Structure 1
Amino acid sequence: MKCMRIQRSWVKKLTFVYNAGYRSPQAVQAMTFNTQKSGTMKKKEQLSDDDKALFRQLMTGTRKLKQDTMVHKPMRKKAEVSLKRQLSEQADNSHYFSDEFQPLLAEDGPVRYVRSDVSHYELKKLRRGDYTPEIFLDLHGLTQQQAKQELGALIAACRREHIFCASVMHGHGKHILKQQTPLWLAQHPDVMAFHQAPKMFGGDAALLVLIEVEEWQPPELP
């Protein structure tokens, strides 16, 4: 819509009052503001017939908006349900991690594990960096209990979002989390394989983990 300038010595402010049953304005009221330097208020003036006609012309073809009667669920309640589900999934997945059970892992070479029904070729692809992790978990500064909970949440998130490759950063050295993380992961039934990460993804301070998701198939490599 083009803007039209009215040549007058005062500025008018239009207040539009619409009636829900009509397309055109029901009433138009004009208020005038004094622009004199003295600051005294001028007497209110009504719109002229020409201005009213111009306004009606500009408003021709306007239509009332339909009221949105859709009832939207409160977002806070939806967030609470989502959080409850996440906590439930976290608990379900972290209960697999036992400190008493010690799975047998290879003692020589880099840390690695492959589930009995998974091809050993997946280990080779993890080692070479053929798989790029889509999600990362940093365990630095966590207690063992916190680390278990975060690992459980990671696996739940991977399965929920159909993410098959994740990176778990446990840090360097010989601290407890670096020793325990592979033992915990090897106990989870949805962990297909893991291998010490290639240098580009953290080297011996991290693991690349292959998670089983629904209808998972090894991606075709270029």
Structure 2
Amino acid sequence: MQRKKLSHQANLSAADSDLFRQSVSGARPLLQDKIAPVSVTSKKKARPSADLPANKQDLFFFSDGYEGFISDGSLLSYVQPGDDPRLAGRLKRAEYQPQVVLDLHGLTQLEAKYELAGLLAYCQQQQFNCACVVHGKGLGILARKVPNWLIQHPNVRAFHTAPKSWGKHGALLLLLKINQSEAELHR
């Protein structure tokens, strides 16, 4: 490809050319005329790493292969065998108020399992007997997994789909055993 010769050079007078040279006589060439791109920080919330060390004792109770809870509708309800069967109804009527809320939105199954184990350990440590776990609706993956994990833990007395004020079908209210020693917990 050939360059076109500029015809405007012929149109410049000698006086204009001298004037231009005088005006740019003190100019120096730039060392760099490019601006380095600036990395834009993401506004997304950073996810916790699933590789965080967790107490393996807390995860001991959760098996992904166990599917002991089958939902028979939109309301989830469970009472540990041998406990008061009216506990689920009391949770449904919000007679117990959660002392702590765990939101699992956006977490993977593994991250959710770690967080749930951490919540149950925290409730045991703080002597909280009621908690709310918000799993969300979404594709329903956590909505199916969380109840199966909860019925495996010996500290969970009962759970029920949360009332509207706590998340309705996207959340569970848990009733937990308290004042249990570590030795009894891992028997």
**Residues 1:210 and 2:175 aligned together:** yes
Match of 1:107 in 2: 72
- Aligned partners of 2:74, 2:179: CA distance in 1, in Å? 31
- 178, 186, 191: which is aligned to 2:143? 178
Is 1:98 the counterpart of 2:63? The answer is yes
Tell whether 2:107 aligns with 1:120.
no
CA contact (8 A) 1:169 1:206 kept: yes
Q: RMSD of the alignment, in Å?
A: 1.8
1:166 aligns with 2:131: yes
What secondary structure, in the 3-state scheme, does the structure 2 residue paired with 1:113 have?
strand
Query: What stretches of structure 1 of length at least 5 have no aligned partner?
Result: 1-86, 216-222
Query: Aligned to 1:171, what secondary structure does the other structure show?
Result: coil
Number of residues of Structure 1 aligned to a counterpart in Structure 2: 129
What is the letter of the counterpart of residue 146 of structure 2? T
In the alignment, which residue of structure 2 is the partner of 1:15?
none
Return the letter of the residue paired with 2:102.
L
What is aligned with 1:151? 116
**Shift of residue 106, structure 1, vs aligned partner:** 4.7
Aligned counterpart, 2:48: none
Please say which of residues 158-167 and 92-101 is displaced more in the overlay: 92-101
Change in 2 beyond 3 A, CA 1:115/1:130: same
Deviations 1:154-177 (A, max 9, x none): 000101100000000000243311
User: Which structure is higher in RCO with an 8 Å CA cutoff and minimum separation 6?
Assistant: 2
Percent identity over paired residues: 40
Q: What is the Cα deviation at residue 183 of structure 1? A: 0.8
Q: Which amino acid aligns with 2:79?
A: V
Distance 1:89 1:119 in 2: 32
Q: What is the distance in 2 between the residues matched to 1:108 and 1:170?
A: 17
SS for the counterpart of 2:117 is helix
- Tell me if the contact between 1:144 and 1:177 (Cα under 8 Å) persists in the aligned partners: yes
> Per residue, is there more strand in 1 or in 2?
1
Q: How does 1:71-86 map to 2 (within 5 A)?
A: none
Query: Aligned to 1:209, what secondary structure does the other structure show?
Result: strand
TM-score normalized with structure 1 length: 0.55
How is 1:6-45 mapped onto 2 (pairs within 5 angstroms)?
A: none
| 5+ long unaligned stretches in structure 2 | 1-51, 181-187
SS at match of 1:132: coil
Shift of 1:89: 7.5
